[in-house]
Amino acid sequence: MIRAGEFLRAALGRGLDFYTGVPCSFLTPLINGAISHQELRYVGATSEGEAVALAGGAWLAGRRPVVMCQNSGLGNMVNPLTSLSHPFRIPFLLVCTWRGQSGVQDEPQHEVMGAVTHDLLTTIRIPHRPFPDRPELIGPALDEAAKLMADGELPTALIMRKGTVAPDEPLDQAPYTPVPRAGAVEDRTRGGPRPSRTRVLEAVLAAVPAEAAVIATTGKCGRELFTLADREQHLYQVGSMGCAGAMALGVALNTARTTVVLDGDGAALMKMGNMATIGAAAPRNLVHVILDNGVHDSTGGQATVSAGVDFARVALACGYRSASASDDADGFAAAFRSALAGPGPHLLHARIAPGSPERLGRPATAPYEVARRFRHFLAAGPR
């Protein structure tokens, strides 16, 4: 058995300083230790997939992240691990508990995942090793994980058995203090014909500062942004639907740059927990745009349920500092300029028309290169 502080100090000495994840009782000492440690940042996620995206954003901003979860949460992680971490080649340390281990009494819901945890990680090409259970094994385990991450440029998992980590000190966590909320949504809707996504993206490109970071969600949004202008300040997500907001949060918390995320209605609905985490973390430099055309545009135009969802009011309820609604290009442009001028987080709900240009390009640069170009861009600016 080791103590949480022993592992956290050794990890910090190797540059691992940004933690996120979803709790498990096996992880209690480690998570509480990370929360209480004055030199570490811990951001609790609403899902394990969100934690992967948060870590991805933190890595892009120059941090060396650690994600902690129960092995049942690997089910929530499979999509972002395979469609975000792999194409972008984003490494982080994954500390995963082994619930349902053979021969160890546990709850029935862990039986299947306990039997397949190691095989699942192997199948999705995530290297994995045992979590150290003796103090003298901590350094070698972290060093081997660091080498695997450096060589493969992918996450590496340490699998933790029950009772591996003893508690250090009681949890030292300040009470959550919500950001003062705006009284009402800034309503810029006019009820006329809705603008195209292209028109709204043109308004973004016309106003966004050259030093701002811009993350575009997967699908037509990123493709249209690339077609209009390919800039080093852009990151075009591929796959990992629903993860743009969490990735942007990981960036915003670790850089002084304004961070703009261009989300979609289907993607935002898929991981609405992102909005709660953003509201709680309250990054002053984050502008969250939801381009809502009411359909899954990349897959044939099937309707989403966004017609009945008021994203702006949801954002205020989650703790965003301000929120606006628009349904034309001029109203959006005015709301975007206003959001750039004051502290956030801001939510801009832009209702737009379905469809996209017939001659629509795709990013010509591979995701691996896009990620490193973006990381270099962030590193060159204010921290």
Domains of the chain, residue spans: 2-166, 186-379
pLDDT-based confidence at residue 134 (cuts at 50, 70, 90): very high
pLDDT-based confidence at residue 290 (cuts at 50, 70, 90): very high
Please, is 382 exposed, middle or buried when counting C-beta atoms within 10 Å of its C-beta (0-12, 13-18, 19+)? exposed
pLDDT at 383: 58
pLDDT-based confidence at residue 160 (cuts at 50, 70, 90): very high
Confidence check: pLDDT of 191 > 80: yes
pLDDT at 169: 66
Residue % of the chain over a pLDDT of 90: 88
Q: How far apart are CA 12 and CA 18, in angstroms?
A: 9
pLDDT-based confidence at residue 57 (cuts at 50, 70, 90): very high
Place of tokens 């810029």: 188
Specify the CATH superfamily of domain 2-166.
Thiamin diphosphate (ThDP)-binding fold, Pyr/PP domains (3.40.50.970)
pLDDT-based confidence at residue 182 (cuts at 50, 70, 90): low
pLDDT at 179: 63
Compute the average pLDDT of residues 281-310: 93
The secondary element (H helix, E strand) that includes residue 264 is: strand 259-264
Compute the average pLDDT of residues 296-309: 90
- Average pLDDT of the chain? 94
Compute the average pLDDT of residues 287-309: 92
Q: Which of 36-50, 248-262, 290-304 has the lowest mean pLDDT?
A: 290-304
pLDDT at 364: 87
Task: Give the distance, in angstroms, between the CA of residue 16 and the centroid of all CA atoms in the same chain.
Answer: 18
Q: How far apart are CA 326 and CA 62, in angstroms?
A: 35
Confidence check: pLDDT of 158 > 80: yes
pLDDT tens-digit map of 311-332: 999 999 999 999 999 999 999 9
Residue % of the chain over a pLDDT of 70: 97
Confidence check: pLDDT of 382 > 80: no
Measured CA to CA in angstroms, residue 46 lies from 51, 69, 177, 332 at distances of: 8, 11, 18, 29
- 2-166 and 186-379: identical CATH topology: yes
pLDDT at 126: 98
Measured CA to CA in angstroms, residue 379 lies from 53, 63, 78, 257, 293 at distances of: 19, 10, 29, 10, 34
pLDDT-based confidence at residue 381 (cuts at 50, 70, 90): confident
Specify the CATH superfamily of domain 186-379.
Thiamin diphosphate (ThDP)-binding fold, Pyr/PP domains (3.40.50.970)
pLDDT tens-digit map of 336-348: 999 999 999 999 9
pLDDT tens-digit map of 65-117: 999 999 999 999 999 999 999 999 999 999 999 999 998 988 999 999 999 99
pLDDT-based confidence at residue 282 (cuts at 50, 70, 90): very high
Confidence check: pLDDT of 268 > 70: yes
